[in-house]
Amino acid sequence: MATRPGPFNIDDVRYILGPDGTGTPKTVTPCPPKPFSGRRRFPVLSLLLVLLSLQLSAEPLEVTRIRQLTQENTAAALNLYREFLRLPNDALYPQDIMKLLSWLEGEFTQRGFSTRRIATAGSPLLLAERLNPGAEKTVLVYLQADGQPVDPAAWEQPNPFEPTLKEEISTGQWEKIPWDSLNEDLDQDWRIFARSAADSKGPMTQFMIAVENLDRAGYRLPYNLKVIIDTEEELGSPNLPDAVNHNRDVLAADMLLIFDGPPHASNKPTVVFGARGIMTVQLVTYGPVTPQHSGHYGNYAPNPALRMAQILGSMKSDTGRVLLAGFYDGVRLDTETRNRLALVPDDEPAIKRRLGIAETDQVGASLQEAIQYPSLNIRGLSAGWVNQQARTIIPATATAELDIRLVKESDPQRLLGLLRKHIESLGYTILERAPTIEQRLQNPRLLRMTHEFSYGAFRSDFDAAPGRMARAGLQHLYGEEPILIRTMGGSIPIAPFVEALDLPAAIVPTVNIDNNQHSPNENLRLGNFIEGIAMIMSVLGREP
């Protein structure tokens, strides 16, 4: 158990929050230098006294109070964050995950939660609960504890698990500054660099501090709060669907809130209502048993790379539309949906410039419309050798790696069936493993097809309970409707909850978009770290 320093001091850090958490001028107000060492914990006794003296709160906390509490508790938040970032969390090392779970159990317990581990075939999940006698509704929150692997050599700091404070210098480089700089002036544009800074120890810390701040305000959440903590998200949450199915009772709730990821590219407050699912497919075509001299056998031995090119080429039009009959079936964007998608302020000329593309695939009329449809993407392609290694051969095989992003309307098995049928219509015999010599001699066109399903899509209504709560919270804080994203293009393992527990869900993103998530030099901007705490306070402080 960590030591408990004296009472919390509200004067540790002073700064002015920008209204949108970014893009604001550097707003620094000096404050008296104070030592910034040691964790400041909210004393458990005073927490209990506060809780005992309360009724269920119906009125939301005033914005000025949210801002004040966020500011007062920033030093403690940064200390908690630093301690958390120092704990290795690569899901491939279960012993590190177990240490991480012990730490989280301690932190959640200190904030009035009871915790229990939910066993899975891999690392356990952690469930933290604050049940509230008299509350009718239960809010389930999904958070992620594990992180991507690290390659320390690729980082511009010795240890990705030693959080490093940096500021941007005129060349656009990031330069280390002493952690103690936080004692004096806090610049919102400084960033903390560490693995999982943004994905997703930032949101987890913001959540813990938001709950603590609400307690500090004497605000009692008007619902039961359950928090499910995933420890294998970066592995694709392979054990999550089973765990959810086997624990429906303990996970039962009325709605699901997720605090994860960056907001819309404009960095304006955002609520996301869905995510595409994903499955991957590998295709292999076969030529001669071993690579052959292209002079000796060119014009004679069929080339598997050409075959693969023809197969792939037949799957899509030259405007990027999938040609498999029925691939887009079921997706209908009515006028109201189109109008809502059009409200998302995407700067498409800027996106095209950033991507360096002259024209876009003609699947939807805009980026937002395009990601409402399933996609079929060639994510990798290989045959023979290229560049310095290029050689005059007919390759033995060609391999294509595909990913299919799924939407709510697209059943993965149906799309896989369409793909299979299309390939068969081109005269191919589909195998599950490499062909034998007999199969090769009997079938001129052989193709191996294997697939892996990761997770399905989900999409909830803008007006379902979690969407109402998230929108009301952000409207309260900013005085305007946040950006509403019907479906984000990427995939997160939320569908198992939505399906097995029959819950509507909404995602409130709280980290800067340029955070190098999954890459070396992952970071979180201080302004976004602080603003995210206020956002989560405001969202949790609404009636579900």
Interface ranges with Zn ion (CB under 5 A): 199
- Helices 94-110 and 201-216 pack at an angle, to 10 degrees, of 10
Structure tokens at 188: 């919102």
Which residue do the tokens 């805009």 mark? Answer: 366
What is the rounded distance in angstroms from the CA atom of residue 211 to the CA atom of residue 220?
10
> Residue 219 or 458: which CB sits closer to Zn ion?
458
> Residue 181 or 280: which CB sits closer to Zn ion?
280
What is the rounded distance in angstroms from the CA atom of residue 19 to the CA atom of residue 478?
7
Rounded to the nearest whole angstrom, what is the least distance from the CB of residue 146 to Zn ion in the complex?
Answer: 9
Tell me the helix, strand and coil percentages in the chain, rounded to 5.
Answer: 35, 20, 45
> Residue 149 or 444: which CB sits closer to Zn ion?
149
Rounded to the nearest whole angstrom, what is the least distance from the CB of residue 193 to Zn ion in the complex?
Answer: 16
- Helices 94-110 and 74-85 pack at an angle, to 10 degrees, of 160
Residue 489: exposure state from Cβ atoms within 10 A (0-12, 13-18, ≥19): middle
Write the DSSP string, 173-227.
-EEE--GGGGGT---TT-EEESTTTTTTHHHHHHHHHHHHHHHHTTPPPSSEEEE
Rounded to the nearest whole angstrom, what is the least distance from the CB of residue 170 to Zn ion in the complex?
Answer: 32
Rounded to the nearest whole angstrom, what is the least distance from the CB of residue 518 to Zn ion in the complex?
Answer: 6
What is the rounded distance in angstroms from the CA atom of residue 197 to the CA atom of residue 524?
6
Rounded to the nearest whole angstrom, what is the least distance from the CB of residue 197 to Zn ion in the complex?
Answer: 12
> Residue 96 or 199: which CB sits closer to Zn ion?
199
Rounded to the nearest whole angstrom, what is the least distance from the CB of residue 260 to Zn ion in the complex?
Answer: 8
Rounded to the nearest whole angstrom, what is the least distance from the CB of residue 519 to Zn ion in the complex?
Answer: 11
Rounded to the nearest whole angstrom, what is the least distance from the CB of residue 83 to Zn ion in the complex?
Answer: 21
> Residue 149 or 417: which CB sits closer to Zn ion?
149
E runs forming strands in 197-298 = 224-230, 255-258, 270-272, 274-275, 277-286, 292-293
> Residue 263 or 473: which CB sits closer to Zn ion?
263
Rounded to the nearest whole angstrom, what is the least distance from the CB of residue 490 to Zn ion in the complex?
Answer: 9
- DSSP letter for 362, please: S
With beta carbons less than 8 A apart as the criterion, state whether 19 and 181 touch. no
> Residue 199 or 531: which CB sits closer to Zn ion?
199
> Residue 186 or 204: which CB sits closer to Zn ion?
204
> Residue 201 or 226: which CB sits closer to Zn ion?
201
Cα dist. 75→10, 39, 361 in Å? 9, 9, 47
Q: Is the dihedral of CA 346, 355, 370, 462 positive or negative?
A: negative
> Residue 110 or 205: which CB sits closer to Zn ion?
205
> Residue 36 or 161: which CB sits closer to Zn ion?
161
Nearest to 365 by CA among 323, 333, 399: 333
- DSSP letter for 200, please: T
With beta carbons less than 8 A apart as the criterion, state whether 534 and 29 touch. no
Number of residues assigned to the chain = 544
- Secondary structure element (H or E) that encloses residue 399, with its range: strand 397-406
Rounded to the nearest whole angstrom, what is the least distance from the CB of residue 175 to Zn ion in the complex?
Answer: 27
Rounded to the nearest whole angstrom, what is the least distance from the CB of residue 91 to Zn ion in the complex?
Answer: 10
- Secondary structure element (H or E) that encloses residue 429, with its range: strand 429-431
With beta carbons less than 8 A apart as the criterion, state whether 101 and 145 touch. yes
Rounded to the nearest whole angstrom, what is the least distance from the CB of residue 195 to Zn ion in the complex?
Answer: 11
Rounded to the nearest whole angstrom, what is the least distance from the CB of residue 532 to Zn ion in the complex?
Answer: 16
Residue with nearest beta carbon to Zn ion: 199
What is the rounded distance in angstroms from the CA atom of residue 544 to the CA atom of residue 541?
9
Distance, CA of 331 to chain centre: 24
> Residue 92 or 119: which CB sits closer to Zn ion?
92
Residue 460: exposure state from Cβ atoms within 10 A (0-12, 13-18, ≥19): buried
Nearest to 64 by CA among 396, 438, 477: 477
Rounded to the nearest whole angstrom, what is the least distance from the CB of residue 382 to Zn ion in the complex?
Answer: 26
> Residue 12 or 233: which CB sits closer to Zn ion?
233
Please name the residues in contact with 124: beta carbons below 8 A apart, sequence gap of 6 or more. Answer: 101, 117, 118, 231
> Residue 72 or 199: which CB sits closer to Zn ion?
199
With beta carbons less than 8 A apart as the criterion, state whether 273 and 467 touch. yes
- Secondary structure element (H or E) that encloses residue 344, with its range: none
